């Protein structure tokens, strides 16, 4: 379970990095392709999490509230539900 959580946390961090990469946004097509790849990775990792998943984490992931999911996984309370 720990590896799945660690991998998911890293993928969520990578997603944020891509989003904030100003240089990457210069080529919109490539930028969007990078975001698609990391989003697919997050979906696959989410599917590997052992059940039951904490209800809050499940909620964040289902709603694609990835910033909140990352905060949760890092032990920081999300600012809003």
Question: pLDDT tens, 14-44?
Answer: 999 999 999 988 999 999 999 999 999 999 9
Give residue 24's pLDDT.
87
Query: What pTM was computed for the model?
Result: 0.85
Give residue 78's pLDDT.
63
Name the residue among 23, 22, 65, 72 with its Cα closest to residue 42: 65
Sign of CA pseudo-dihedral 43, 46, 47, 53: negative
The residue behind tokens 């032990």 is 75
Residue 73 has pLDDT above 70, yes or no: yes
Structure tokens, 49 = 């999490």
What percentage of the chain reaches a pLDDT higher than 70? 93
Structure tokens, 76 = 């920081």
- Mean pLDDT score of the chain, rounded to an integer? 91
């Amino acid at each position: 379970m720990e590896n799945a959580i660690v991998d998911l946390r890293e993928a969520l961090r990578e997603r944020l990095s891509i989003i904030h990469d100003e240089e990457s946004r210069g080529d919109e097509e490539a930028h969007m392709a990078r975001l698609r790849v990391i989003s697919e990775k997050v979906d696959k990792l989410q599917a590997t999490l052992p059940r039951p998943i904490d209800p809050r984490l499940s909620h964040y992931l289902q709603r694609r509230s990835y910033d909140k999911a990352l905060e949760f996984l890092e032990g920081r309370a999300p600012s809003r539900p």
